[in-house]
Each structure stands twice: as C-alpha cells, then as structure tokens.
Amino acid sequence: MSSSPLSKKRRLSGTETKTGSHCSSSNSVRTDLSHTPANGMAKNGNDAEIDEGLYSRQLYVLGHEAMKRMQNSNVLISGMRGLGVEIAKNVILGGVRSVTIHDEGVAEWRDLSSQFYLREEDLGKNRAEVSQARLAELNSYVPVTGYTGPLTEDYLTKFQVVVLTNSTLDEQQTLGEFCHSKGIKLIVADTRGLFGQLFCDFGEEMIVYDTNGEQPLSAMISMITKDSAGVVTCLDEARHGFESGDYVTFTEIQGMTELNGCKPVEIKVLGPYTFSICDTSGFTDYIRGGIVSQVKMPKKISFKSLSSSLAQPEFLMTDFAKMEFPGQMHLGFQAIHAFQKKHGHLPAPWSQADGEELLALAKDVNSAQTGSAKVEQLNESLIKKMSYVAAGDLAPVNAFFGGLAAQEVMKACTGKFMPIMQWLYFDALECLAEEEGFMLTEEECAPKNCRYDGQVAVFGTKMQDLLAKQRYFLVGAGAIGCELLKNFAMIGLAAGEGEVIVTDMDTIEKSNLNRQFLFRPWDVTKMKSDTAAAAVKLMNPAIKITGHQNRVGPDTERIYDDDFFESLDGVANALDNVDARMYMDRRCVYYRKPLLESGTLGTKGNVQVVIPFLTESYSSSQDPPEKSIPICTLKNFPNAIEHTLQWARDEFEGLFKQPPENAMQYLTYRTLKLPGAQPAEVLEALYKSLVTDCPQNWADCVAWARNHWQCQYSNNIRQLLHNFPPDQVQSEGSSQAQTNECCFQELHMDYVVAAANLFAQTYGLQGSTDRAGVIKILQDVKVPPFTPRSGVKIHDDDTNFHMDFIVAASNLRAENYDIPPTDRHKSKLIAGKIIPAIATTTAAVVGLVCLELFKIIKGHKKLESYKNGFMNLALPFFAFSEPIAAPKHKVNWTYRECTCIHLLPHLHAGILKFVFTGFLSVSCSMTEIVTKVSKKKLGKHVKALVFELCCNDLSDEDVEVPYVRYTIR
C-alpha cells in the first residue's frame, strides 16, 4: 500500500482489473457491482437468489437472512501478500456482492512463502493484478476487481467493508478516521513472523442480530408462581440451559394465559431448572403445561476509531496463559511501525542490533502512552523476539489470521455473530527452539532469493532442509485436507527428498466448492486426491506429492503396511468421522508416529497434537454420546420438530428401506438363519410386501400412499386421542395431539406424491409428478372408515423423493401436535445430520495445525511446548492448553497364572493380535503356535505379532500394560 495520505482532491487514479466470469481488464472504474454468473442461476444484490447447491454447508452456519445481507456488501481488501490473499480467498468463497483487491507493490521472493497465488514467474509484477484472475476462479457469483492506485476518499466510499493488510500505522489511522466518520466498517490485520494482530471498527452503532449462532433453546414448564418476579420451574428431565439476560416467550400454558404469545421477556437464572421473569402477581393462576422458548434479540454495540482505540485499547484474550502479553504486543507492533518508518524496512532477521533498537523504540512508545495503553514494565525478551522474526512471513500464521479476519468481514456485512472488541493479539513463540536464550545467526536467516525467504527469516535454513525431507501421510482431501496441502506446499514440506501421500476415495461435488478451495467447477466428478495434488503442484512445483484413492481401514492394510508406516515421519488427519479418526490413531500409536488431528463444526474448531510417549492419544478421551429421544416421546408425545423429523426418518426406513432388504435376505437364503423370532417377522413382512401390498400400476401406488396417510395422520391420532382425551394431563408435558383433515392441502399432496413415487420405485413402476393426475386418482380411492379400539395400550418402547417424503411426513406429524413446521433446508440439516461448515474456520484451524507441525519437525520434547486449541469464531472465543500427558504404566507386575492363548478373529494392521494370558511350556516357535491356534497360515505381509498381556501386580491387582510387539520378519 502506498504511504501517501488520502487525496483532498477526491480523485480516482490507478488501474482496475476486474472479472465477471474470468472477464477482461479495463482502465475504467466499475460502477455496477452486480453480477450474473455464466450459468445464469442467480446474481448478488437485493434480488439475489441463493445457490443452495453451492452454499449448502455455509447456509447452515449463517442462515438465509445473513447470506442475503452479505450479498449486498462490496468489500475492499488492501495488500496482496500472504495474509491479504488468505482473507480474500475466504471472503470470496463466502459469497459477498463483490471483492476488490488492492496493492501498489510488486511480488518479491519472500512473498512466495505464503502467497499461494503468486508464482516465480510473477516476480516483479503487481501482486493485485496477478492474484485477481486466480482469485476470481473461486466463486463465479462474486466479481473480483484488481486495483493498483492509491486509496482515495472517493474510492473508499464504494465499499461497505475495508480491510487493511501490509499497511503503515499512518495509513491505518488516516483511513480509519475516514471510514469511522462515513460508517464504513474497518478491519486491520497484520502478521509479523510468529506474531499477529487484528483490529475491528464497525462504527459507533452496530446491530448484532445473533450473538452466538446457536439454535434457540426451549424447555417444558411444570410450574409458574404468582409473584413480583414470577418463578418458572422447568421439568427436571433436563437443564433449561438459559443464561441471565436471555429473552424468552411462552406457548401452550394452561391457566396463566397472559404469558402465551407475550412479547419477549428478560429472565434471571435462579438454578438449572428455574428462572425468574416479570411481575406475574396480577395474572390468573397457573394450571399446567407450557413451553418456554429462547428468543434471539438484537444487540447494539459501539466501536471506537483506530486512533482512539490505540490510546485506550480493549483486548480479546487468545491465550489465558499469557494474559500480560496483549499489551506488550500492542506496543511492539507500534514500535515495528516506527522502525519501518525510520529505516524504510523491517528489522533484519535475528539482528541483535535491530533488536536493541526496537526495544528502545518500544520504550519511547510506552512512555508516551497514558491510561490502559501503558504497561508498567516492558517484557524486553518478548519485544526482542518480535524484532528477530518481524521480517518473517509464515503461511500458517497467515492462514490463522486470514480465517479470523474473513469471519470478521462476514460479521461486518451481516450482523451475524459477535465481533472482536476491538484488538486481538496472538503469538506462536513455542515454535522457536526450546532452549532458553537460543539465538539463530543473521547469516543463517538472511534472504537467499528463494521462495522460502519469509520462512527462513524465522527458522533458518536448517529447518528448511528438515521440512524438505519429511514424509507425511495425509488422510482426507476435503476442506481440511485442501487447506493442509496448501500450507504444506507453502512451507516446503516434502519439497526435497520427502513425500506427501494423500488419500481420499471421494469425488468432487458442487457443494464442495464453497470450502474445498483447490477445486473448481470443471473438477466436479474428478477424484479429490489427484485434483488437490495437481493444484498444489502449481503453488509449489517442488513439492513431492502422490494421490491415492483408498479408504483407510483393515481392508487396505496390505497397502498401508509395516514398511509404509515405518517410512513416515508423521500423519495428519483430515477426516469427517470418529471411527476413521480412532483407527488412524491406533495405527499411529502402534507405529509410534506423531498425529495431527483437527476438526470443525460451523464456527467451532479444534486442534489436537499426539506425540508418541509424550501426550495422550486421540482415543484416550471421548465425547459423551449424543442424547437420544425417548421412544414414548418419539412415538406418541413429540414436542419439537427434531422429534417429528426422527419419526419421519424411521417411517422412511420402515416403508422403503426395510422391505427390499427383507426380500434380499429371503432371496439369498439368509432369512432362516436369523435368530429368535426374526425369521417369522421377516417372512410376514415379505408376504405383505410381495402379496397384500404389491401394486400393479401407478394408481395402486397413489391409493397405497393415500391410505397410509390416513393411517398415520388421522386414524392413529384418533386412536391416541381415544386413549388420552384432551382433558387428560400428560406427565410428559407434551402438546395435545390433533387429527389432520383433508388430503388435498398442499402439504398433504407433497406427502402423497413423494410416498407414491418412492413406493413405485421400490417395485420398479413408473412414477409421476403430475398433481392433477394424482388428484384425479385420489377421487376414486376408497378410504375405510375408522372406529377407535378400546383397551389398546400405548407402548413405551433430493430429486429422488427421499427428502420430499421426510419433510412432508415430519411437517404433517408436527401439524398433528401443533408444533411449528420447518422448511426443507432445516429439515435436511436435522434429518441428514449434516455438519455445518464454513471456509473461515477451516483456514484458521489448519493454520494452528501447521504451527504444531513446525514443533514436531524441530523435535520439541517438552509437553508445554505443544498446544491443543479450541475456538469459536462466533463468540469469539479462543483457548489453548498443553496436551494431557501420556499415561505412565506400572513396572512391578507378574504374569497371571493361566495357560491359554486366545486368538482374536481378525488381522489388525498387518499384525496378528491375540491375548496371551500366561506362560506356555512349548517347544515350538511363536509363529507355529499362532498358526495352530488360528488354523490359518500367516500372510507374507504379517511382519509382527502383537500380544495383549493380562497382568497383575504384587498385590494381585489388575495392571494395564502396553501391547507387546513380537517381530517375526
């Protein structure tokens, strides 16, 4: 960015390069920032339609309203070094109205350490011009413009959000004051080696519509008192989960009806099952029932301008172990600006002289401060380390801050989630050598005119050589996998004698493109691993990378065998399920390989590092199981849409999945081998499917669907009402059931059409979506009259019509119980158990993963050097802690007296595993024993046996001991 101040002439100068769908360039300024992509599906703007096929996972994070607000925002991102391009990538994937990238500088060698859209042939070219076309490929809905002139006042007024990176402090203050006065939201982001800062100014009055993004809570009521502050008691089946200051509304209360449908009421939590509300002393007496629901209330927040906030900073803590550091780093960054202004460059890498000068400048800055900006005593060691690494440019740090800054852009555009108030500082000093006082030489860290200059400035050339020799196994090439590969390429992992092996058996789908940024629309249906490998080869041609299409598991242990794992330096997981994670964890524990584990859920992310003999493994701790829905609630007394959706899923399985499986069991002669009474049940169901319910034509399918509708949504509900009359109190506190009438409402037709088509597909018949034809058939369908039975007990126990059926079935069920229905989008999230995802969280999490990778490669031995991390960008919240130490095993134990070997009936990891529970007096070899017991010959790929020892100590207590590996080849 130019160091010149805002022009008073309000002129426009410089050049812009812009794109629609990879369009032409021009010197004229773009005024119409709306855009229609090549496929003509939608455009960003007030009349925007949202491409749910592309944004599906992100929509579950932001919601439709926030997405529409974001599509009205034009964003300027200044500075196209590593941090700037990372922010731009995430914002473009997010789907704003337009993005303009700005830079007046040209590409240098040190930029290639983290700017993944610059190549060696781009050296000397303007960074914005080169990056524009490559960024434009990320999202055809977002036009990307490159601008290379100075930032003038007239130019800035085109934007709702301005992001400054790689800018001077003078520029930040001047532009910050202008933006603050004009209501333009400002974000300032900077990284200096292992340090980073982020600042937000979203104006004097900003409305946050949803502070945390969580689904509103609800609870069932058992009592409400009449008092000056009425006390609400919830059923003691589950804690209400509310917090003081929350707002709630009430429905279905009998007696104290004044609360039903009232305006949101602020509450004060009294306990896990109670809270107080407004004055209820004048209300009628409470009788029974009722549901209390949380309401998201808009919150107004105010920001100070950058100049004001410099003098009175408000910090967001990112590491509770270093609570004194934000103030120190706040001064350190100002001192770096002062040094750069004085000399025209950053402090030289690991220069002791520059370190002393920066310390003196920091003292001067501190002495000029007043109030909260001033610290009592400078941390001289920290300030010097900031000087030593300030010239560095690290891809992982830029990935972390790029994810955070892009999320703040989205908050500024949408009012969704709580912004950072107002400064955030972060450091990763644990990545340096563990020895106290360790110093690298200036010579080792000086620029070499190579693509790793920005990284060598921090870690030196020896570390770069180590990175090039690494052999790593990456499991998964999805969102996290793509980000890891990008970072691997930038840091030079396996760029010499090493290799990265990435495996993923999936192909690319359209919905992947919103987060898995290595893929493009023309890559859809291609294999993820090969496509990702080719993409990162363009970013760094030196990386040695091989793509596989294998699922990791017992079936591929002949491929990923002893030789394979023993050749690795480490493993990185990029998986989407716990079972595969635990499998890879077991493999890494056995082969004593470090494991980098991470995951995301919407705006939440976590990082775990597993180091052999130092930390606990991934499998050592597990999350509690998901809370299940009671059968009686599911079958008879639902009170939430989640209950009706689960019921609809079960209905789908029973109607359209189980009958074909029964038929297949019968045809393959497996029915009679089933245990207990299952053979008779399967045969009875099979007879119903093939004889009594078997349709001959489309009309039969419609008739079946109509009668099934009658059974589920009218007759069964009438039976329930017969058993539980409306005036009978339900101990469950659920809604009173009611029947559905008339099969020709739109929702009812949705159900009949979907069910009839699914039924037709099951029997290989031609279906139809002609509603007029369906109505005509329905007019001739005879529906048997219903008579309730006495003495019946209530037991306590997408284009293919699948989602159409589940949504219709769920909403019909909800209609029975007066539960508010939900749309297809939310239904798919709940019923499909879809994991919400957004690119910002993924980028930030992977940045932290790669910082831990640096520590592993440097060979850190101290537990406190490593950091497990958890973040929630919505709050925002960050927490880091050292990993839990590996368990220690007792040494004084004896073999339990027993003489048997139990062979487990499976091969594990190319190893035959069995339990050895004592001494055996045998003269044959261990391989012969295993062969005799298992009655199988050992495969050639089996190179070791694993013994599970059952032992006790001298006091005869059971003792947990590690597996014993017995090498045979």
Q: Which positions are catalytic?
A: 632
Torsion angles phi and psi, residue 314, rounded to 5 = -115, 120
Q: Are 933 and 903 in contact (CB under 8 A)?
A: yes
d(CA 452, CA 455): 5
Q: Are strands 247-251 and 471-475 parallel, antiparallel or unpaired?
A: unpaired
| Pairing of β 911-916 and β 901-908 | antiparallel
- Using left for φ > 0, alpha for ψ between -120 and 50, and beta otherwise, residue 610 falls in beta
> Bridge-partner residues for 908, per DSSP?
911
* Whole-Å CA distances, 587 to 208, 576, 592, 910, 960: 46, 18, 8, 11, 19
Antiparallel, parallel or unpaired: β 471-475 and 570-573? parallel
- CA separation, residue 906 to residues 551, 554, 910, 947 (Å): 18, 9, 10, 14
Which among 835, 844, 849, 833 is positioned nearest to 872, based on CA atoms? Answer: 844
CA distance 189 to 761: 56
Q: Which residues contact 693 (CB under 8 A, 6 or more apart)?
A: 704
Cross-sheet strand order for the sheet of 265-266? 265-266, 247-251, 291-295, 218-224, 231-234, 274-276, 268-269
CB atoms within 10 A of CB 266: 13
Say how many C-beta atoms besides its own lie within 10 A of residue 783's C-beta: 15
d(Cα 764, Cα 761) in Å, to the nearest integer? 5
| Residue count (the chain) | 969
Considering only CA atoms, which of 558, 593, 555 is closest in space to residue 573? 593
- Which 8-state DSSP code applies to residue 776? H
β-partners of residue 188 are: 164, 199
**Helix, strand, or coil (residue 764):** coil
Query: Which has the closest alpha carbon to 230: 288, 169, 282?
Result: 282
How are strands ordered across the β-sheet holding 16-18? 16-18, 144-147, 98-102, 74-78, 161-164, 185-192, 195-201, 423-427, 315-316
Residues 6+ apart with CB under 8 A from 775: 744, 749
Taking the C-alpha atoms of residue 687 and residue 710, their distance in angstroms, rounded to an integer, is 22
Count CB-CB contacts under 10 A for residue 740. Answer: 19
Q: Kindly list the distances between the CA atom of residue 34 and the CA atoms of 47, 59, 140, 141, 157, in Å, as whole numbers in the listed order.
A: 10, 21, 12, 9, 17
Distance CA 470, CA 919 (A): 43
- Phi, then psi, of 921 in degrees rounded to 5: -90, 90
In this structure, are residues 572 and 471 in contact, taking their beta carbons and an 8 Å threshold?
Answer: no
CB 399 within 8 A of CB 115: no
Around Cβ 599, how many Cβ atoms within 10 Å? Answer: 20
Q: Both tokens of residue 10?
A: 């309000």
* Gap between the Cα atoms of 463 and 392, Å rounded: 14
Q: Give burial (CB, 10 Å; 0-12/13-18/19+) of 518.
A: buried
| Residues linked to residue 41 through DSSP beta bridges, in sequence order | none
Query: Which residue in the block uniquely carries the two structure tokens 């009012």?
Result: 415
Residues 6+ apart with CB under 8 A from 115: 80, 81, 82, 85, 107, 127, 131
